[in-house]
Chains A and B, each alone.
Chain A
Amino acid sequence: MQSAKKSKLLKGATGEWEVVIGMEIHAQVTSKAKLFSGASTAFGGAPNSHVSLVDAAMPGMLPVINEHCVAQAVRTGLGLKAKINRRSVFDRKNYFYPDLPQGYQISQYKSPVVGEGKVTVDMPDGESFEVGIERLHLEQDAGKSLHDQHPAYSYVDLNRAGVALMEIVTKPDIRSAEDAKAFVSKLRSILRYLGTCDGNMEEGSLRADVNVSVRKPGAGLNTRCEIKNVNSIRFIGQAIESEARRQIEILEEGGAIEQETRLFDAAKGETRAMRSKEEAHDYRYFPDPDLLPLEIDEAFVSSIAATLPELPDEKKARFVKELGLSAYDADVLVSERETAEYFEALAKGRDAKAAANFVINELFGRLNKEGTAIAESPVSAAQAGAILDLVADGTISGKIAKDLIDIVWIEGGDPRAIVEKRGLKQVTDTGAIEKVIDEIIAANPDKVEAAKAKPQAVGWFVGQVMKATGGKANPAAVNELLKKKLGQ
């Protein structure tokens, strides 16, 4: 087990503490139908409108495995560089709850479909760490209890009941709240690249149970607490931070940590006890006799492996090695599949660095401001490409390019045609520029003196020329002429 770098340690009254974190991520499998029934998995349907006889656990109903969900789990396993288990078993996890119609959840207990794998997480400071994946298994989601519909009764919506989830369990390899957030972001990115989970945390497609314990650096593992069902990356960070602080406080006061399940209260920013170890359910797991063991053959796995996309790690390495991008830029560009797709479309046949700059410096700011996803960017990769081309061939200046982006952003249209129509072309005619320079020099003799004494003051003249030409003057030509005129 890795130990934390100094910077990741938390300071307490008695010195530094190391936080040990392991996670169980519940990722909803991207699939039109549920894990064991043909009912729809669409989000947002009227209550109980996506419920089959199997989902409602009517008498005599039997589950039949959805092969697509198995393929998605295998695909995810391959993406996590994990072992695919040729034989796995579905078990019943027995407990009573109104939104669990069968009285048991079909899950995989002893024999999961995917075994050990790993995820590499790169941090913005250039550091990276590895998180071991313990296992991935398939299981059914439960329905939803609605407690606010009636004064005396709870209502149950079974639309989610039976939807396929992948539970991805990590080893206790994470050492800080920041790292935990980065890990979940990375895992989410991999799932999205794979197309096996949409990663939509608002709709509950991705939830995390976070196991937290603290210890003195180098000491053995301490008792952990599990924080259930945290549903945003920000909350994951907050939950870990506050839970670690709580545990440190208890230990420093000479207390002991009780193993328990806790809930994160986002409003208060703290965790609170849900149930103790003694109250933990005995789930009476046993193999589901309605289902045969899941046997996967080599051909099934290799057919999925053949369609695996390039994943963020490989893509990043390629961007650095073949396109000459910095590791940081590459990291930013690969973090979302859609961003990478946009960038690659833009960089094709163009200067990759210019394309990267465009996406990171021009596009991201505008998208963030409006809260728009890159896939819905008002400036398409083709339009952006045309703008970059106009800059590259000297038709417009970099400054005009910024204006042009804004015009296309709001009005749309072909950038080249807009440049023509609005006369945005760069002025490279030295005669015309010279004329403007002469006028400015003539009008400002004091500034000329100053510039002769202090070469940096030439910038003022550049500004004036650009202002007078409406930014269309070729900056290189302006600089060249000014140097000559001002005798530098």
Chain B
Amino acid sequence: MADLTSLTLAEARDGLRAKKFSAREIADAHIAAIERARGLNAFVMETPERAQAMAAASDQRIAKGEAGSLEGLPLAIKDLFCTDGVRTTASSKILGNFVPNYESTVTGNLWRDGAVLLGKTNLDEFAMGSSNETSCFGPVQNPWRRKGSNAPLVPGGSSGGSAAAVAAQLCLGATGTDTGGSIRQPAAFTGTVGIKPTYGRCSRWGVVAFASSLDQAGPFARTVRDAAILLRSMSGHDPKDSTSADQPVPDFEAAVGKSIKGRRIGIPKEYRVDNMPAEVEALWRQGAEWLKAAGAELVEISLPHTKYALPAYYIVAPAEASSNLARYDGVRYGLRVEGGDITDMYEQTRSAGFGAEVKRRVLIGTYVLSAGYYDAYYLQAQKVRTLIKRDFEEVFAKGVDAILTPATPSAAFAVGEKAGADPVEMYLNDIFTVTVNMAGLPGIAVPAGIDGAGLPLGLQLIGRPFDEETLFSVGAVIEQAAGRFPPPERWWER
């Protein structure tokens, strides 16, 4: 039998339906692959027994003709989603061995449709990072390496474990969350497809919060079609999340392969940033050419407030985070370090439990919300946010259907390369992605090429609110034109 881990999610789904193999066989193949790939550090918790039990149940449902839309398809879950009975850590020491007795709405939706849990994946602590180096479990290694080099590269972040697991064929798909680029940037770094849907498309209930007004769950997969299949299952209105949108969930898969003839694609001039590698610039132009060849109309557009997006993001996100993370206080669950009195206990617990990047953001957030600084920082950032949103609204009002940009300013960088003294260097990774979160829009990263060093590069498409379908249609065109490039060599199995 061919390697079941190299199938796409759609192929596996169809094969299961045609009873070419069993859910149990697919699960076992992936369990074995995960075991062999421990060097990647993609998983922080493997759940093989649960996977086998879920797969066995899937086989029964398939036999009875009761298969759900994701029946028997093994997935990896970012360890930010609370999973009933399975340790959930947000890759932070402060959660310790926290085991929720509840299931996040998004993962609950996946299990409802028959998907199988392989394990929980590594991430930057509380999803704060762009390289997966802030995890208390240590960094994840990108399955991709530069040609002729053994230097470990980062998979991007914060959903680095999920991206690496999908790229290394350790699962058929994975969940991620994206607050400023945490799905799209790692997708671009690992040659996978990642979509951050419109804010409100997926419920945030049961997902450990980073920045509530920006956080959004989304899938990773190896093809645009697979991402569409997963997103449909993850989406839907949830009365338990007040910010969840009561919008119908379309059959996203049906959008894959649809003609984009006559669709208007905007190319924002403000995304031509200084020091952008020539290869990234060339790929962006190439992407535009592909879309033009497919019948789309390309228009130069302006999003004038783009340059303020990153600084504003680094006010809004830490502000919300500083408040969201106040509940990790050692009183009810997770880590507690005893102290002389209650204040001492708080300080000891939070000092020991949070890593440096989380502490930095809690401090930034506390500062920008403080009396006397609120107006100058938080309020100002909210105004910028409104302007960014308006930039997009005006462009879409002029008939633009989607916007094409690079996903990241560079290909994957080396572990340790940007973990130096200046955090801004790391923050700049999100320069093309944060605007999308600030405006609440959907954005997809699609692998579009390989750079000279042999590393994947991605392009990003930004869509109208709740028009993920256009992103899947246009994304599929790029995928088609770029051609599927071979997966990374399995050096980790040696």
Contacts and interface: CB of A to CB of B under 8 A. Distances in A.
A84 to B, nearest CB: 21
Given A103-B323, A282-B370, A59 B90 contact: yes
Contact of A94 (B205, B209, B213, B323): B323
Given A60-B82, A96-B329, A289 B213 contact: yes
Nearest to A281: B371
B378 interface: yes
Nearest to B327: A57
Interface string B307-344: 00000000000011011011101011100000000110
Interface stretch (A61-69, A259-267, A339-347): A61-69
B47 interface: no
B240 A64 contact: yes
B326 A103 contact: yes
Given A58-B100, A60-B209, A290-B242, A284 B323 contact: yes
Given A94-B369, A292-B243, A102 B326 contact: yes
Given A59-B100, A282-B371, A286-B319, A103 B242 contact: no
A488 B346 CA distance: 93
A432 interface: no
A398 interface: no
A112 B206 CA distance: 29
A101 B209 contact: no
A94 B331 CA distance: 16
Contacts of B212: 289-290
B102 interface: yes
Interface in A68-110: 92, 94, 96, 98, 101-104
Contact of A64 (B95, B100, B104, B242): B242
B143 to A, nearest CB: 29
Interface in B87-102: 88, 90, 95, 98, 100, 102
A57 B104 contact: no
A96 to B, nearest CB: 6
Contacts, number: 96
Contacts of A57: 327, 332
B211 A289 contact: yes
A102 B320 CA distance: 13
B99 to A, nearest CB: 11
Q: What is the interface residue range for chain A against chain B?
A: 20 to 34
B207 interface: yes
B366 A284 contact: yes
Nearest to A152: B338
B239 interface: yes
Contact of A290 (B88, B243, B326): B243
Contacts of B207: 60
A290 to B, nearest CB: 5
B369 A62 contact: no
A284 B370 contact: yes
A98 B343 CA distance: 10
A101 B327 contact: yes
B374 interface: yes
Interface string B33-55: 00000000000000000000000
A104 B321 CA distance: 12
B205 A61 contact: yes
Interface string B232-268: 0000000111110000000000000000000000000
A154 B211 CA distance: 32
Nearest to B316: A289
Most chain B CB inside 10 Å of its own CB: which residue of A61, A92, A286, A292: A286
A62 B82 contact: no
Contacts of A64: 239-242
Contacts of B243: 289-292
A59 B240 contact: no
A323 interface: no
Contacts of B327: 57, 59, 101-103
A96 B208 contact: no
Of B204, B212, B320, B327, most A-chain CB atoms within 10 Å: B327
A53 interface: yes
B332 A56 contact: yes
A286 B374 contact: yes
Nearest to B102: A53
Nearest to A36: B242
Contacts of B98: 59
Interface in A26-60: 53, 56-60
A289 B369 CA distance: 14
Given A57-B327, A103-B326, A98 B342 contact: yes
Contacts of A59: 82, 88, 90, 95, 98, 100, 208-209, 327
A292 B81 CA distance: 23
A17 B205 CA distance: 57
Interface string A114-148: 00000000000000000000000000000000000
Interface in A257-293: 282, 284-286, 289-292
A156 interface: yes
A285 B374 CA distance: 9
A61 B327 CA distance: 11
B358 to A, nearest CB: 14
Interface in A362-417: none
Contacts of B104: 60
B176 to A, nearest CB: 15
Nearest to B95: A59
A58 B242 contact: no
A253 B93 CA distance: 57
Query: Which of A96, A102, A156 has the most chain B CB within a 10 Å cutoff?
Result: A96
A56 B101 CA distance: 13
Interface in B191-224: 204-209, 211-213
B331 A98 contact: yes
Contacts of A94: 322-323, 326, 369
B213 to A, nearest CB: 4
B326 A96 contact: yes
A59 B100 CA distance: 8
Nearest to B88: A59
Contacts of B342: 98, 154
Contacts of B204: 60, 62
Contact of B323 (A53, A58, A104, A282): A104
A227 B366 CA distance: 29
Nearest to B90: A59
Contacts of B88: 59
A154 B104 CA distance: 32
Shortest 10 CB-CB distances between A and B: which pairs? A103-B326, A284-B369, A289-B212, A289-B213, A57-B327, A60-B206, A59-B208, A282-B371, A60-B82, A98-B331
28 contacts: A56-B332, A58-B82, A59-B82, A59-B95, A59-B100, A60-B81, A60-B100, A60-B104, A60-B204, A62-B240, A62-B241, A62-B242, A64-B240, A64-B242, A92-B323, A94-B369, A96-B329, A102-B326, A103-B325, A156-B331, A282-B370, A282-B371, A284-B371, A286-B369, A286-B374, A286-B378, A289-B243, A290-B242
Interface of B: 81-82, 88, 90, 95, 98, 100, 102, 104, 204-209, 211-213, 239-243, 319-320, 322-323, 325-327, 329, 331-333, 342-343, 346, 366, 369-371, 374, 378
Given A60-B100, A103-B327, A286-B319, 20 more contacts: A57-B332, A58-B333, A59-B82, A59-B209, A60-B81, A60-B207, A63-B242, A94-B323, A96-B326, A98-B329, A101-B331, A156-B331, A284-B323, A285-B374, A286-B323, A286-B369, A286-B374, A289-B243, A290-B243, A292-B242
